[in-house]
Structure 1
Amino acid sequence: MPLYIKDPEVDRLAEELISLTKSSKVDAVKDALKHEIAKRKAVLPVRERLAKSLAMAREAGPFAPGNHKRETDDMWGDD
Structure 2
Amino acid sequence: MASLYIKDRETAALAAELAAELGTTKTEAVRDALRRRIAEIAAPKSGSGQGLLERLDEWRKANPLPPPTGLKADKAFFDDLWGEI
Question: For 1:22-67, what per-residue CA distance to the aligned partner results, in whole angstroms no more than 9, with x for missing partners?
Answer: 0011110110110011000012265xxxxxxxxxxxxxxxxxxxxx
Alignment match, 2:65: none
1:55-74 equivalences in 2 (<5 Å): none
More helix by share: 1
Alignment match, 2:3: 2
TM-score (norm 1): 0.53
Q: Distance in 1 between matches of 2:15 and 2:46?
A: 31
Alignment match, 2:41: 40
Alignment match, 2:31: 30
Q: CA deviation at 1:5?
A: 1.5
Structure 1 segments of 4+ aligned residues over 4 angstroms from their partners: none
Aligned length: 46
Q: Say which SS state the counterpart of residue 30 (structure 2) adopts.
A: helix
Give the fraction of aligned pairs with identical amino acids, expressed as a percent.
41
Q: Identify the structure with bigger relative contact order (alpha carbons < 8 Å, sequence gap 6+).
A: 1
| Unaligned residue ranges in structure 2 (runs of 5+) | 48-85
TM-score (norm 2): 0.49
Bigger Rg, which one = 2
Alignment match, 1:16: 17
